[in-house]
């Protein structure tokens, strides 16, 4: 009897481990898809030439890393100021690569893409039928 319980426990544990790995893989795939959509969206909207894209995306990667490095536990106004400081630091770099007008458009588009993505996510979740709990 103890053998069967041990085997059952191991099988169930392995199953839950595999399921957790699948969910992580799905999340990574989703992140890659979103990143690809973002790159395509920005490249198209800014009409980046191949030369501009080659210079723009490495700087953008540094920009993203600096944005992600902002301490999320700061008070809200300090956090927003930190984000703004990062954007100001990179504004000159982006302007040198793509020009002032497209740089301004980039900062607007960055927020627009995130809002559109969030809106689509919310629409998909609202369209799914919700199961009622039986009490």
pLDDT in tens, 29-78: 888 998 998 999 999 999 999 999 999 999 999 999 999 999 999 999 99
Calpha distance 69→63 (Å, rounded): 10
CB 105 within 8 A of CB 46: yes
Residue 71 pLDDT: 94
Give me the percent of the chain exceeding a pLDDT of 70: 76
- Decide which of 109 and 16 is more confident: 109
The stretch 8-19 carries a mean pLDDT of 51
Q: Where are the domains of the chain?
A: 24-125
Average pLDDT, the chain: 83
Give the predicted TM-score (pTM) of the model: 0.69
CB 97 within 8 A of CB 56: yes
End-to-end C-alpha distance for the chain, whole angstroms: 35
Residue 42 pLDDT: 92
């Amino acid at each position: 009897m103890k053998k069967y319980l041990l085997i059952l426990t191991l099988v169930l544990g392995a199953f839950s481990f595999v399921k957790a790995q699948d969910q992580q893989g799905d999340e990574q795939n989703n992140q890659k898809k979103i990143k690809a959509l973002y790159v395509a969206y920005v490249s198209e909207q800014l009409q980046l030439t191949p030369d501009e894209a080659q210079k723009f995306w490495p700087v953008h990667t540094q920009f993203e890393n600096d944005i992600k490095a902002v301490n999320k536990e700061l008070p809200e106004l300090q956090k927003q100021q930190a984000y703004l400081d990062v954007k100001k630091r990179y504004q000159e770099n982006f302007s040198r690569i793509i020009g002032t007008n497209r740089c301004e458009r980039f900062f607007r588009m960055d927020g627009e893409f995130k809002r559109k993505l969030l809106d689509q996510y919310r629409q998909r979740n609202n369209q799914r039928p919700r199961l009622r709990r039986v009490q």
